[in-house]
């Protein structure tokens, strides 16, 4: 297993399109017609030179109750069906957490997920926090009230209040 972190510009266009297509297919039932942010970083897990799993990271300054908070947004956590149940996504998430802490120096990782994924992410230190959360969409601001999880990346406590992603969701 190889794990690498690269920007979109560092990934061959054909490979990026291929991975984007299968991530879109995996999440086709969960899209809700939302427009998503472009990932700043891609954590790619390869088996036999084949990208088998990936995690997207968006680096962003958001706010909680109007106070700035540096976030590492996690999105598009996906593994090709043939490679599931091998710990690939878990390894990618661990690498993403390490990268957000050590390289990006974010205060918190932040992801949104369905309730069925709370235990999965919780085993890796992610914690459910209360919203609401605001984010941009082409037709205006959206209020999100479903599951929001954070990963502390510093000793700072998560502030309570309204979360504003200050852009598109990830």
State the CB neighbour count (10 A cutoff) for residue 31. 10
114-146 burial, b for 16+ CB within 10 Å, e for fewer? eeeeeeebeeeebeebeeebbbbeeeeebebee
Instruction: State how far the Cα of 106 lies from the Cα of 48, in Å rounded to an integer.
Output: 32
Confidence of residue 162 (pLDDT cuts 50, 70, 90): very high
φ/ψ (deg, to 5) at 98: -60, -45
Segments in 59-170 forming alpha helices (H): 88-99, 118-122
Quick: pLDDT tens for 113-139.
999 999 999 999 999 999 999 999 999
The β-bridge partners of 154 are none
pTM: 0.93
Domain boundaries, the chain: 2-164
Any idea which of 25-34, 47-56, 57-66, 122-131 has the lowest mean pLDDT? 25-34
Instruction: State how far the Cα of 96 lies from the Cα of 124, in Å rounded to an integer.
Output: 11
Mean pLDDT of the chain: 94
Task: Give CATH for domain 2-164.
Answer: 3.40.630.30
Q: Residue length, the chain?
A: 170
Going by their DSSP bridges, the two strands 163-164 and 133-137 should be labelled as parallel
């Amino acid at each position: 297993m190889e794990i690498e972190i690269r920007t979109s510009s560092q990934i061959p266009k054909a490979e990026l399109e291929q991975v984007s297509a299968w991530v879109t297919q995996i999440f086709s039932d969960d899209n809700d017609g939302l427009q998503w942010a472009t990932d700043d970083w891609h954590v790619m897990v390869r088996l036999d030179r084949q990208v088998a799993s990936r995690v997207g990271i968006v680096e962003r300054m958001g706010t909680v109750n109007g106070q700035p908070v540096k976030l590492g947004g996690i999105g598009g956590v996906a593994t090709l069906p043939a490679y599931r149940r091998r710990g690939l996504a878990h390894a990618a998430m661990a690498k993403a957490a390490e990268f957000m802490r050590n390289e990006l120096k974010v205060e918190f990782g932040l992801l949104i997920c369905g309730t069925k994924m709370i235990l999965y992410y919780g085993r890796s230190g992610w914690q459910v926090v209360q919203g609401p959360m605001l984010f941009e969409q082409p037709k205006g601001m959206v209020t999100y009230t479903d599951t929001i999880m954070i990963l502390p990346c510093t000793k700072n406590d998560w502030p309570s209040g309204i979360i504003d992603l200050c852009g598109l969701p990830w």
